[in-house]
Every structure is written in structure tokens, then in C-alpha cells.
Amino acid sequence: MTTRANAPTDEPDPDGRAPRRVAAAMRDVQDGLDPREAALRLGVTEPEFARLAKAIVARRKAKRVARIPLLFHDIDPEPEKLIREDISAIAAIGDGESLWIGADEGASLERLTARRDEAGRIVGYGDHVRFDLHQFFEFPNGVEEEADVEGLAISDGYLWVVGSHSLKRKKPKTEDTPEEALEKLSLVKREANRFLIGRVPLVAGDRPGVPTLAAKAPAIDGSKRKRRAGAVKMTRNGSTLSKRLFRDWHLGPFMGVPSKDNGLDVEGMAVTGDRIFLGLRGPVLRGWATVLELKFSARKNGSLKLEPFDDGDVIRRHFLDLDGLGVRSLLIDGTDLVLLAGPTMDLDGPVRIYRWRGGLDARDSTVAPRADVERSLDLPFGEGDDHAEGATLLSLAPGEPERLMVAYDTPSRKRLAEGGGVLADVFEAPERF
């Protein structure tokens, strides 16, 4: 395992903004370092350190620039939860012209199309279309069991999707008797359809920027080999990944623990080339969050195989100090990984954006130093609702910089929109632009 030296090298920003190393020092102070010692290490006076810290706090506060309605028509006549109450992942395509959405319940993906005003600015999403994942993947437990979709990614002409890989514990209801509540809390269930790691070809639809999904499609590079939908092999006993994780020194003990109890829970996905990154909401190990890295190859029939790295292992573990939070969503920005982070347990907040600088450059399992994992934005959250679950980058209008869109699970009443919709937030992304 590789650990890089915890030595920030950046200089103060020419425009006066606080540098990365001040942010790292603030985290050290939060952990108990005397502010005078932190200032001394930075080579500034204590009042100057306080001024720089105050500027960082102000810069971190997320600045919302829009609230965008996402309009669904629920296809199930009696769903356990409405789609708008159950969003777990989002991914924008074509400069935001289409928005792809995953939900906890069932085994499907939802596509929405941008609605623009006369100036070309996105004012909402609608024209809801559902894609049943059973058309593309062979699930071990058939159509009745959910896949618990928790992450989406776009790469090389494919839409990627990952299930939570988690166990679930029955949740008591307020009207349950003590005996009924105790019985429910004792019930832990493994659902094999949650072991999904797969991809589906994106093909041109009726409108530019609004593709559809196909089980088979031509190669995007003009070669004769077709693109095919496929997944890592799943069985009722697990998958290649889950079986390897059961034997893992760090994560194996958590494979038998339900997700909301700090058990293993995949909630973020990013893909580049032949590398897959999976962000774990849990477990958080002594305050350190985990990102798994996998390498894959595709067979002619489209099925995916996990390939070993140079050390012979099929996983790399990257441990990141996210101040005790777990990963809720992953994005790639250049060579950086951008992480939406929130509580591992069933709590409301805090909710933050972190940036792992140079995360894609890692070539071994890594303990990322604090100076490389910067807290960029502090996002709002509710009390018992408005839990940020999905994030994507998009431009609201042609020529505008990309913004950060965030969608929420268990939305508050004030977030519900007319016609079966729910409001997503769009924030400035000052860390990136």
C-alpha cells in the first residue's frame, strides 16, 4: 500500500483566496492542533491565519443558482415509493440535454429531457421514459427483486450502473408494537440483484443529446466489434467483487453488516478507460472513507470480467479522510475525483463536496493525505429529509460554465413540484472554475 507524504506544496493564490494548505491546517485545528502552531507551520501570524480561515469558510458555502423541477409519471400503479421520493443517482448527457436517474426501488433507469426557455436556458426536465434493466442484464433473482441502483456513470458510449452490494435490515414503523419492532430489527436480508456492475450502449435517439439504450450497437470508433450490454457475473451467492470483498482484510468484516449499520454500501460510481471507481458510503474505518478501484475487460458477448492489477489483486483500496463521512456520489474532473459525502449512518448531515486531487494518478492502493483531499463545498441538508444522493455537472445554457446539480432522496414538502415533480438544486462550482 502506498502512502504519499503529507506535505502541501501550493503557494498562496494570486487573487488572494486561501491556499489549499490553509484548508489542510484548518482540518488539523479541528482535530486538536493549537491554532498558534498551525499559523507557525504556515509561516503566517495567528490573526492572518484566522483571516484566511474565515475566507475559506465563506467560499465553501454552496451558492445555489437555480432550482430545476424534475417531472416524472410513475409507471407502477401502486409503487412502494414514488420515483421523486427515491432518487439515488443522476448523470447528465449532451450538455444537460438529457438527465439519467437511478432509484433505490425496482430495477430500472429513468430518462428525462431538458425543457428550455426562449433563450435556451434549462428551466426543467420532463418527457419521462423508463428503461427496464432486465432487458439488458441477467439478474440472479429475477424481476421481483430490486437492484438498488446507487451509481451511474458515462464512459466511451456506455451508460454504467452499479447496485449497492449491501445487506438491508428491516425498519420498524412508528405504529409497530415493541415485539414487532424487535422482530423487524432482527431481520437482515441479502438480495443478489444488488451485486450489479454493468453497462449498456448509448445510441442516438430522436433528439440530439437525448440518447436511448440498446442491448447491442455499432462501435463508436468505427471498428467491426459491436458494443453490447453486459455485467460482471452475478449469482445468488454473490459476484466476483463481493466474493473477493468477503476475504478482504479491511472490508470483509463489514460484508455481513447491513448498509445503514456501517456495513458495506456502494453509493458512487465513476468510470474512465478500463478503470471503475466505486465510492462506499460505508464502512467508514476510524473516520476514513473508501473508494474501490477495479479494472475490467469485456468479452465478445458483452459480459464484463474483473482483471487483476500488477500485484495480482482485482481491487485497489483508496482510503480518504472525509472528516468521518462516507461517499454518496463520484465525479471525474480531469485527473481529480470529486466526491459528494454524507453520513454513513441514517443521519441528516453534514453534506459536503470533497476533491481528491490527482486521484486518477494513483497506481496502487493508497492512503490519500489530507492535503490532497480538499473540502470544497458545504451543501444544505434537511431534518429528516432532503438527503443529497446524486450529483452531476451540466451547463444550464449554451456558453455558461458547468454547474453542480444535486438531487435528493426523501425530499421535503417544499421540494415537491406540481405534476409529480421534485426540485433539484444547481450550485456554483467555484472549486472547478
The pLDDT score that the predictor gives to residue 432 is 57
End-to-end Cα separation, the chain, in angstroms: 33
Residue 7 has pLDDT above 60, yes or no: no
The pLDDT score that the predictor gives to residue 74 is 64
> Across 16-20, 81-85, 345-349, 391-395, which has the greatest mean pLDDT?
391-395
Q: Which residues pair with 91 in a beta bridge?
A: 100
Residues 292-309: tens digit of each pLDDT: 999 999 999 999 999 999
| Mean pLDDT for the chain overall | 88
d(CA 367, CA 373): 11
The pLDDT score that the predictor gives to residue 433 is 41
Q: Output the nine-digit C-alpha cell for 359.
A: 486521484
Provide the percentage of residues in the chain whose pLDDT is more than 70.
93
d(CA 165, CA 245): 11
Q: Read off the pLDDT band of 431 (50, 70, 90).
A: low
The pLDDT score that the predictor gives to residue 78 is 62
> Which of 34-43, 119-128, 199-208, 366-375 shows the lowest per-residue confidence on average (mean pLDDT)?
366-375
The pLDDT score that the predictor gives to residue 280 is 97
Region 65-87: mean pLDDT is 81
Residues 211-236: tens digit of each pLDDT: 999 999 999 888 888 999 999 999 98
Residues 133-172: tens digit of each pLDDT: 999 999 998 887 888 899 999 999 999 999 999 888 878 8
Region 66-78: mean pLDDT is 81
d(CA 329, CA 390): 6
Q: Is the model more confident about 5 or about 360?
A: 360
d(CA 153, CA 332): 10
Residue 107 has pLDDT above 60, yes or no: yes
Region 186-205: mean pLDDT is 91
d(CA 285, CA 31): 16
Per-position b or e across 193-216, b if 16+ CB within 10 A of its CB? bbbbbbbbbbeeeeeeebbbbbee
Residue 350 has pLDDT above 80, yes or no: yes
The pLDDT score that the predictor gives to residue 77 is 58
The pLDDT score that the predictor gives to residue 76 is 63
319: part of which helix (H) or strand (E)? Answer: strand 316-321
Residue type, 177: T
Q: Is the model more confident about 190 or about 305?
A: 305
242: part of which helix (H) or strand (E)? Answer: helix 240-246
The pLDDT score that the predictor gives to residue 79 is 61
Chain-centre distance for alpha carbon 381: 16
Residue 320 has pLDDT above 60, yes or no: yes
Q: Is the model more confident about 5 or about 340?
A: 340
Q: Taking Cα atoms as reference points, which of 28, 18, 27 lies closest to residue 49?
A: 18
Q: For the domain made up of 64-427, give the CATH fold.
A: Tachylectin-2; Chain A (2.115.10)
Region 402-427: mean pLDDT is 91
